[in-house]
Amino acid sequence: MPDILGNEMLARFFWAAAVIAAGLILFGLANRLVLTRASSKVRNLAAFQPGKPALVYFTTPTCAPCKTVQRPAIRRLQDVLGERLQVVEIDAAGDPHTAQEWGVMSVPTTFLIDANGRPRHINHGVTTAEKLMQQLSEIF
């Protein structure tokens, strides 16, 4: 009897691992699709200046995590990087068409764009200044 329970637990473990792996693969593919989709939209951003890396930040006026966590993290980046980084803030509630074009499903969402206008990273939800800096180090 214990042998059957052990085999059942092992089978459940492998099924759970397979479901988690499939979810991670789908999440990665979805992010890649959103980045590919965003690459054609960068040139439509009036505030984007080619030749300089950018952080495109989707927020809303009512987003508490945006105000309390994300915006201060972005300010810290700006303090460190100064003019080497441009920040383009987009109100997803005020401009839902742009948010939809970029594939934004929740706020805050940040995109990191290299100097050539190519989206390199996307972050869904609050992202720390340290993670953003690490991602930017791959772009600079």
Among 29-38, 75-84, 125-134, where is mean pLDDT lowest?
Answer: 29-38
**pLDDT at residue 7 is higher than 70:** yes
Residue 31, pLDDT above cutoff 90: no
- Would you place residue 14 in the very low, low, confident or very high pLDDT band (cuts 50, 70, 90)? very high
**Backbone angles phi and psi of 17, in degrees to 5:** -65, -40
Give residue 30's pLDDT.
86
CB atoms within 10 A of CB 2: 6
In this model, does residue 132 exceed pLDDT 90?
Answer: yes
- Tell me which of 58 and 45 has the higher pLDDT: 58
Instruction: Kindly state the tokens that stand for 138.
Output: 């791959």
What are residue 42's phi and psi, to 5 degrees?
-60, -45
List, in sequence order, every beta strand (DSSP E) within the chain. 54-59, 86-91, 109-113, 119-124
Q: Tell me the helix, strand and coil percentages in the chain, rounded to 5.
A: 55, 15, 25
Predicted TM-score of the model (pTM): 0.83
Separation between Cα atoms, residue 133 and residue 138, nearest integer Å: 9
Residue closest to 65 by CA, chosen among 74, 77, 53, 56: 74
Locus of tokens 């980045």: 35
Q: Choose between 38 and 96: higher pLDDT.
A: 96
Question: What integer best gives the mean pLDDT of the chain?
Answer: 92
Give me 9's structure tokens.
């637990």
Position 52 scores a pLDDT of 93
> Domain 38-139: which topology?
Glutaredoxin (3.40.30)
| Two tokens, residue 61 | 């006026």
- Residue 28: pLDDT over 80: yes
Q: Stretch 15-23: mean pLDDT, rounded?
A: 94
Residue 2 pLDDT > 60 = no
- The domain locations on the chain are 38-139
